[in-house]
Structure formats: structure tokens, C-alpha cells
Structure 1
Amino acid sequence: MIKKLFIIICSLMFFIISCSGGNDSDKILVGVAMPTQSSERWINDAANMKANLEKLGYAVDIQFAEDDVQTQVSQIENFIAKGVKCLVVASVDSQALVNVLDQAKNNGIPVIAYDRLLMDTDSVSYYATFDNKGVGTKIAEYIVKAKNLETAKQENRSYTVEFFMGSPDDNNALFLYNGIMEVLQPYLDNGVLVCKTGRTSFQDTCILRWSQETAQQWAENYLSGYYNNQKLDIACSAFDGFAYGIRSALEASGYKVGEDWPLISGQDAELMAIKNIISGHQTMTIFKDTRILAEKCAAMVDAVLKGGEPEINDTTQYNNNVKVVPTYLCEPIAIDKNNYQSIIVDSGYYTEEQLQVN
């Protein structure tokens, strides 16, 4: 309920900001397609993109698709009809956008993928994102260190673990999963990590549209079906929203913080996630400073529209099945109760007042 209220307030603030400002009729128009306002993260991304592009002198039209593929297709078609000069797209399902992105290319409109790679098209020019495999690597490395997995075998220790991975239509989710498994698979192989459901493949652990409700349902089913006589030690979650659902399932099953609460990971450093870390209901999250991502993406737009070359630091990883998309990767950071103050608060991402735990 608190999360939903926060999102509603953010959405209203974003609407007010969007409606303010002077006459943009003489400015170059940039269209920004975002997936949803149901996640705090995308609201912040939109606000940051708008601020950065307007600072560079552009008019900005931002649309949210609310995770509906056809809505996003229609929004991009409307952008093209309006005559936008550049498109920034954080896709709902990129494979469904191939035709409309071809329309953009045929109209001479460059397309920049924002934090979700646009697959199966040559109509995307550049990609701005975080090191998605690195996100998975950092989650897994945190688990290894927190549970001292390197010495667990010789000390005859083992831990139960279940996996909650991202949406199968989001290419980032597979990168993240691969980063996790590259680190944790050896511990699954030698029995230090035990997945009682046996669900460890990406196909078995991916959650469509990053649904918190699905993650909660899975956790409830796992706890009732496999963990009646043994506790769950680690919930390897790829998203803060999953962690909220897992928390609800654990509380309903009688788990208590400070007694038998498992290690729960996450991603995005949402406000609620940091509060949960402070209270002990979530162990860690991955901080992806969307202020930096938006700044880098806006600079890409500016360079493209001025006929220049944007800053790129990866030209090998992101093959969308048609081309390797030139990419700028921002660095993710693992956050827990020991460093949230110095990284989250001291940088101004959240204030102490925002992080007060009720």
C-alpha cells in the first residue's frame, strides 16, 4: 500500500513537471517511450531523462505504456506522426516493436535503446544501460561472501536457495541470470547450495513482466511445498519488487527477522528496498544510479542530433540477433546496511527523512 501511494505521488509530480515550462514549439522534439509507471524506478528514469534533455535545449514527450505492448507500439507510432527527431525506447517487449522501429528508421529517426536492448532489429543506433551481467555477478558475489561459501564445503556447511529471475522478454534478465550462475553454479554442483525445488534454469526461474505478485505466489508455493521441515536460507532475487513479494510470503509462513530470516537480494535500490534493508527485511540490493544513466543517454541523443559520435564503452556484448549495438555501460553497486548511508544518502539519491522506517 505504501509503495502504491508513493508511486501515485511520484506520478502526479511527474505530470505537473511535464505540464510546466515555456513554449517548446521552436525546439527539437525527442520522444521517450517508458514501459510503466507501476515501478518507482521508471518514474525516476523518466523525470531524469526529461530534466537532462530539457537542460540540453530539447522539447520532450514522454509516454508510459503500463506494460502493454500494443500501447507502446501506438505511442511510438504517434511519436513518428508528431515528427520527433530522435526516439529513446525502454521497451515492454522489444520483439513486438520491430515493425514500428523500422517505420522510425524509414522516417530518418534515430533510435536509442534505454536500459533494455531492442532485439531483432537494425533500426536501433545505440544502447545506454548498466552492466547487466555485472549486476548478476555482484548479487552472486555478495551471497558468496555473506555466507562464506568458499570454505563451506570443507566445513560441512550447506544452504538452501531459491531463484527469482527477471522477465523472459527482457534481454537484460538473461544477462543478469548468466552473471549469477557463472558465480553460483559451482556451489550448486558441489552441494554447498541446495535448491530444493530443482528450479535453477533461466526458463524455470524467469518471471514475466517482473511481476511482484508472481514472485510472492512462487515463494508461497515453495515454502509450503518444500520448506516445511527445513528453512529457506537464501532468496536469490533479481528485483526489489520480487523481494517485497518474498517478504510477504515469509511473514505469512512465520519467518521472523533476527531469527530465521533468509538472505534476500534485489535490484534497483527502490526507496522501499532501502527501508527494508534498514529494518532487516531485505539483505541487499543493486544500486543503479539512474541519474547517471539518464545523463549518458541524453548526451547520446545530443550527439546523434548534432551529427557527432556519442560516448561508447562496449562494442562486443550486446548482439540483438541482427547487429552488435554500440553501448554505454554504467556501473552497478551492491548496497546493504553497511554502505547505504555513504552511497545512497550522501550522494543525495534519497534523504534521511525519506528513509525513516515507520
Structure 2
Amino acid sequence: MRELFSLRSQADHLRAQLKNMASGSLGFGGCHMALRAAPCLTGVLTRPAKGATPPVGKAGASTRQACSFRRGMACIVSSMPMWRRWRRNANHCRPFVTVAGATAQELVGLHFFSDQNFKPVRDQFVASVVDKDIVLKETCVEDLNVVKQRTAGGVPVYQFKTKLLLKALEEAEAEEVLLISDVDIQFFREVMPFVHQGIAGRDICFQREFTKLGVNIGFVAVRRTTATMNFWHQVLKELPTGRHDQRIVNNLLYTEQVPDLRWSCFPPEIWASSQAFDSVGIPDGIALHHANWIIRDYEEGGADASNPAPKLQQLAEFRRAVLEDDAQTMQALVQRIRKDPDLESYHQRTFGELRYGPEWVALPSGHPARPGGARKRRRLNASSQSS
């Protein structure tokens, strides 16, 4: 009886939502959010594979009850002509489909976080999401304790993000794929085709930092495996050293300290502004823009990591240029970033001949970034070679 009551409660709730939508009281935005929330209302709905044992939902409802509920929902939706075009979205109400002992995931959780200071950046991030099979998983706090003069907010932010990711992985099913993202990102079209392709047969897929080398951890697809758990626990372990979390990640990857980790990078369509350094420009069909590199006006407080204004400015400029298909403006934006002397210096220190740290054995012999070493020695060697 409890299970049936739960199903009826969900039906009543969704029926009320649909009635409001039909009357127009929610408007398009409300309709969109209700569709995005549909997976939350249908957590017990699963479809068993042929010959498989019928699964049991969280409340213990049988598949027969779940299917009856689903048919009822289909009747409600189909009775409203304005919603027929979205009827196929109901197929996304099945979080998992069991096939021959494997789990094919249809809904992917997108985990992100922010504090009150970055709320305007967070708002544009959420408003730009395009994919219907992404479920937003937000964590918002009053203050992330950003270290103003440190890249990406310093150790407090690095630890918060890594712990958030580890918690999400611990709560995930084996082999489940999830996304974690910074909020200084905007979407232009669906990214899930890139996610499915990038994570296939792999544990992690990263955004690129530069086109030819390096990973960016602003947008990452992660599969719940033993290797990924070990990897991110190792990242968390090294964070108290004070090093940038992204530097730690790159060191672990290119030194192959987690040898069984299968990883790759998204194509340039999942674009970060730092890629302006060694790319021909904004790629055709750009799906995502990460405002990870901004030109800082140090006299105007541009080095303050807690100041969202430079990020918002770049996001707005890029969005306007991409949506208007203004090739001239897009190229000008890329050229402006590419000519920033700080970007070239950053590239040399992190992925070029001035890189310090452990040897990156994953790179071929002779690659300028492979040797690593002490910071002072690397600078002396570079200066002697140039003289």
C-alpha cells in the first residue's frame, strides 16, 4: 500500500504541474524546468531487459506497478496537445536500463558549485544548459573562502571541489558516469554526444587546457571505477602542499602514477579560452566555452579571483559573437587572448620548456615539457639556450 500511495502522490504532483502548464501559468521556463525535474518524480521507473529479473524501485514498487504508472502519465500528457511534441522526453525518465548485467546510463548528473559572490556566473551557467538528459546537481554555499590572489581561488576551493567530486563518486553506482563543472562555462549546443564519445571505454575525459597538451579540470566526465576513486583520492592527498589542483592532476596523469587509469580529452568543440594560444580560433560548431583564461587588469583589481566581473564580460562577449555568427568578432576575441603575454608565460611554465616538477614519462623523449626538474634549474637552462 505504501508503494501505491507513493506512486499516486507522484501522479497527483505531476498532474498538477501539467495542469498549470496547460493553463500557461508556468510559461515556457516553468515547463522546461518541470521537464528537467521529471527524473526526480520518476525514480522508480525502470524497464527490465528481456529475460532479466524485474527490478525493484527504491520504494519496493514492482515493475508492473511502475509501468502502470507510466501508462497513466502517458495518457495525461497525450491528452494535452501542446505537450505532444515533448512526449518523447518521457523516455528519459528511465535513469538506468539493465542489459545482460551491464548498466547503460541514460541520465547524467552534472555536479557544480558556487558561492553567493559568483551567483551571477552561476545563473548564466544554468540558463545556458541545453541537454535534456543532464540532471543538474548543485551545491551552493555562502562563502568558499576564496584566496583572492591565487589561481582559481586557492586551496579552500580546490579541496571543496575535490571532496564534492569524491562524494558524488561514492554515491554513484559502479560504472556510472557523472560530470563535474565549474560555473564560468556556457553551453551553445548539446554536449552529451561529446561526453558519450569521450568516456566510451575510459574512466575520465577532460577538457583540454591547450590544444596540443594538458588537461583542464573545469569540465570533466568521470566514470565510477576503482581507478577514478584512487586517482581523486591521490589528488585530495596532495592538495595541502598548496599546488594548483590542475597542476596536481596533470602531474599524476603524465607521470602515470595511476597506471590503470584510462583517460582522454574532449575535442576542441569543448573549448577553453586558454586554447586560443595554440588553436586557429573558435572551432566551428562550438558546444561549450570555458572562460578559464581572462586578461587581467592588475591596476583595476583584475588579479582578484573573487571578482566575477572579468569572467562575466568574456562570457557575454563570446556568447554574442557565437550566436550572431560574427566571425570577425570571434577572431578578434581569440587574438586578444592569444597576445596576452601572461598566457605565453603560463604555457611555458606549465606545459613548455620551463615546466618544473616530476618527469612526465607519458610524453615522448625530446619533448620540451618532459624533463621537469627544479624550477631554478629549468629557468637557467632555458636562458642559456636562448643566449
TM-score by length of 1: 0.29
Higher normalized contact order (CA 8 Å, seq sep 6+, divided by chain length): 1
Q: TM-score, normalised by structure 2?
A: 0.27
